[in-house]
Amino acid sequence: MDTKIIKRIIIGVIVLVITEFLLPVGTVIFTGGETMNALGMCSVGDLRCVFLIASFIAVATIVLAAVISGIFYVISKVIFSIRWKKRITQNDNISDKPYITATIENRENKSLRFYCVLKSIQINGKIDAELKKRVTEHTPRISWSGGSDEDIGVKLIDSEGQGILNIVSVTIRGLTVETAKGERYIGKKDDTFKFNLVLYKEIGKNNFARIPFSIMFEGYFDIASESIQKELKSALSWDAAVEYKIRSIGEK
């Protein structure tokens, strides 16, 4: 939620609480307590009763405002996340150097800063905390195509522009995570992967909002044709007759 909106809500609540507290007190001052007495709330001249009622109304207002603001905040966060998830597109390229990226669209009317963090790695449906720890040893931030513009992993995307996250690729060593501080190798695993990531979008000076999203893909060995296998099997190992690849299978 925008910090300006939060400030306006807080100011509005403070003004409302002060008004609610002063209303019974003002009624006593201007009517001499007759109105409160007529309503069966306080006797004429019973200032203690008046202040108790005013305090109760003020506290009740604070509690009600907190509940309503909390509900509004949660709803706004959900809407914000859904809206921005629609601007994240998973891409895959299985040509010369297989890789999977994500395109981030900035449809706002101003340039914004972004960075992306790897939160967890799932292999065949199970979270691998040790692998994630090894991959994020130097930084949990994911790299950008063209490099970062400011701090490590921070990208400035122009208004109505796009930025591309380089998430995973395949090298001779197998599956590789592209972090903002270089490649981190996972190896050749014939598995299904799910990377849970969080995109951070600038909403104010040094203030970023979280947008969780996930990508899913498979790492697999593509067996060479029979003719190539026959030519290679006498001189080379079986591994030389297969090629490790990745295949995007989208988010689940």
pLDDT tens digits along 129-145: 999 999 999 999 999 99
Q: Return the minimum-mean-pLDDT range out of 31-40, 71-80, 240-249.
A: 31-40
The mean per-residue pLDDT over the stretch 18-35 comes to: 56
Of 1-10, 168-177, 227-236, highest mean pLDDT: 168-177
Whole-angstrom distance, CA of residue 178 vs CA of residue 198: 15
- Please state which architecture CATH assigns to domain 89-248: Sandwich (2.60)
For 164, the token pair is: 């591309």
Listed by start position, the domains of the chain span: 3-84, 89-248
Of 74-88, 153-167, 196-210, highest mean pLDDT: 153-167
Q: Return the minimum-mean-pLDDT range out of 5-9, 48-52, 198-202, 231-235.
A: 231-235
Q: Across all residues in the chain, what is the average pLDDT?
A: 79
pLDDT confidence bin for 118, thresholds 50/70/90 = very high
The mean per-residue pLDDT over the stretch 104-125 comes to: 94
Examine the pLDDT at 54 and tell me if it is beyond 50.
Answer: yes
Tell me the DSSP string of the chain.
--HHHHHHHHHHHHHHHHHHHHHHHHHHHHHTTHHHHHTTS--TT-HHHHHHHHHHHHHHHHHHHHHHHHHHHHHHHHHHHHHHHTTEEEEEE-SSS-EEEEEEEE-SSS-EEEEEEEEEEEETTEE-HHHHHHHTSS-SBBEETT--SSSTT-EEE-TTEEEEEEEEEEETTEEEEEETTEEEEEE---SEEEEEEEEEEEEETTEEEEEEEEEEEEEEEEEPPHHHHHHHHTTS-GGGGEEEEEEE----
